[in-house]
A and B are shown apart, each in its own frame.
Chain A
Amino acid sequence: MPLFSPTEFAKEQVLAVQEYSLLAGRSLSNVFTQPRYIADTLLQADLIGVGSLPIVVLTGFFTGAVLALQTSSTLQQFGSLSLTGKLVSLSMVRELGPVLTGLMVAGRNSSGMASELGSMKVTEQIDAMRAMGVDPSKKLVTPRVIATVVMLFFLSIISDLVGLTGGFMISFTLLGLDASQYWTTAYQALRFGDVIMGLSKPVVFGFIIASIGCYYGLSAKGGTQGVGRATTQAVVAASVLILVSDFFITRLLMGFFQY
């Protein structure tokens, strides 16, 4: 077995970061240059947005419901059960809606992109595309990045709303809260900063999901086994990066809106 070389390992990691940064940068700069693949972007938007709707709705609903259920016992101890709407609303809109939607879409679409592009890579279809004068970063990466960013934005809004509805169902049926009380506290709890935080996260997460998925796909090597490895790595890297970037965005915006 060859000895492990820390220098080689460090070089490989720096190279991976460099290549990812170049691809991510190109995927954005492509937006401003011709040709633009609008049909491909719409197709991806359908696959990512509409395709992910069922899992996002289910995740959002049950997260809101369990949030109401879990917090009710604590709130009851302080006689503040009426704040359930406020708590569900703030948690869903600021944090759980965007993060859980991001993680679900990462699981579904980062893996999909990595395996699709990875298969194209190992069967020389990416080289064939380049050989025919078509830029794979324009044809394959940019449409996926745009579609994921736009769709994740709207999916997060849907997830927030469905989560609030889930919380309401529990509050109304099991906790005996008044409907208008739940929705009024939920609505009034939200400040401008909360909404901005909830809507800026999906933009970053969407970019991470698509760029990571495409990067691992395009750097796949070693046949079908390599495609499998790229798929797993894409989901792991996208999920971890979503959680890490979530912390930094939250901290940044908390400072900005002076929480």
Chain B
Amino acid sequence: MRFEDVSIAFDHPVLEGISFQLPRGETKILMGVAGTGKTLILKLALGLLKPDSGHIDVLGNEITAMREQELFALRRNIGMVFQESALFDSLTVEENVAYRLIEETGRVTEEIHERVLEALRFVELEHTVSLFPAELSGGMRRRVAIARAIITQPEVLLYDSPTGGLDPVTSDRIIELIVKQRDVYHTSSLMVTHRLQDAFTMASHYFDRQQNKMLPVGDGVDCGDLNTRFLILRDCKIIFEGNAAELLRCTDPYIREYLS
């Protein structure tokens, strides 16, 4: 995915001259104070909004030049976890998770049911399959949204504040799932977060398949190997791009204050 000199304004400019690349397999964490246009970058990447100027390439397609009808096919290769989960409240968890698959077959087949269970097993919510979103807690809804986004194993995943408004224990659980997705499937992803702790957990932990849990990076493993980088937005622009170590060494007074 590539953003090139992207600008968008509503009543006032929100993003100006945004350029960055998300190479295959990399995770980029977007940070910045509220209202700096982080969610907007995700919506632009999906083609849900069009920029006023600039180019956005996603999976080899210049989406800024594509019509809505053409974008529908491309979006099937991208998974998005919305800030408030955005589950369809009139459908069960199974129908929500299987939404894309049902679109293709028209009904829940035995094979789809198995895939739903597999996706729900990934987020450890297998028992909720026949419940409605209103019957789940906020953290569970967020995990169902992750299951819905990953069921088709998309090439790119976009997470919009996946831990926003959740307690620290639930947040850690969700971050563990995101790390698991990163280290097991090596999906490229763009993640917006307000929580510094989550961002640094992602940059300093890896998922151990043998023990089936997230572990801190020990001696001999470089954080750089985790393929996780940071982007910090301020006043419509990107003011920092780099990995965790570079971020900690950064001397910019605004970033120092942000980190503290």
- Residues on A facing B (Cβ under 8 Å): 35, 39, 120, 123-125, 127-135
Contact = CB atoms under 8 A, between A and B. Distances in A.
B89 A134 contact: no
Contacts of A135: 68-69, 72
B76 interface: yes
Contacts of B89: 123, 125
Given A35-B103, A39-B106, A131 B88 contact: no
B86 interface: yes
B88 A133 contact: no
Contacts of A120: 88
B103 to A, nearest CB: 6
A39 B105 CA distance: 13
A128 B75 contact: no
A127 B73 CA distance: 15
Contact of A123 (B69, B72, B86): B86
B240 interface: no
Given A35-B103, A39-B106, A135-B69, A130 B86 contact: no
Contacts of A131: 46, 48, 75, 78, 80, 82
B99 interface: yes
A129 B76 CA distance: 11
A128 B103 contact: no
Interface in B68-101: 68-69, 72-76, 78, 80, 82-84, 86-89, 99-100
Contacts, number: 54
A19 to B, nearest CB: 13
B88 to A, nearest CB: 6
A132 B99 CA distance: 8
Contacts of B48: 127, 130-131
A40 B75 CA distance: 23
A133 to B, nearest CB: 4
Contacts of A129: 88
Given A123-B89, A125-B88, A127-B48, A134 B103 contact: yes
A132 B75 contact: yes
A193 B187 CA distance: 65
A223 to B, nearest CB: 12
Nearest to B100: A132
Contacts of A123: 84, 86, 89
Nearest to B77: A133
Given A131-B48, A135-B69, A124 B100 contact: no
Contacts of B106: 39
Given A124-B82, A127-B82, A134-B99, 19 more contacts: A39-B106, A124-B86, A125-B89, A127-B48, A128-B82, A128-B86, A128-B88, A130-B48, A130-B72, A130-B75, A131-B75, A132-B75, A132-B76, A132-B100, A132-B148, A133-B74, A133-B76, A134-B100, A135-B72
Contacts of A39: 106
Nearest to A38: B106
Contacts of B100: 132-134
A81 B148 CA distance: 69
A134 B43 CA distance: 16
A43 to B, nearest CB: 11
A127 B158 CA distance: 13
B48 to A, nearest CB: 6
A242 to B, nearest CB: 28
B228 to A, nearest CB: 23
Nearest to A116: B90
Contacts of B76: 132-133
B192 to A, nearest CB: 14
B72 A133 contact: yes
A130 B43 CA distance: 11
A60 B89 CA distance: 36
Closest 3 CB pairs of A and B: A128-B86, A124-B86, A133-B76
30 contacts: A123-B86, A124-B82, A124-B83, A124-B84, A124-B86, A125-B86, A125-B87, A127-B48, A127-B82, A127-B86, A128-B82, A128-B87, A129-B88, A130-B48, A130-B72, A130-B75, A131-B46, A131-B48, A131-B78, A131-B80, A131-B82, A132-B76, A132-B99, A132-B148, A133-B75, A133-B100, A133-B103, A134-B72, A135-B69, A135-B72
A35 B88 CA distance: 20
B159 to A, nearest CB: 12
B45 to A, nearest CB: 10
Nearest to B107: A39
B99 to A, nearest CB: 6
Contacts of A124: 82-84, 86
A218 to B, nearest CB: 13
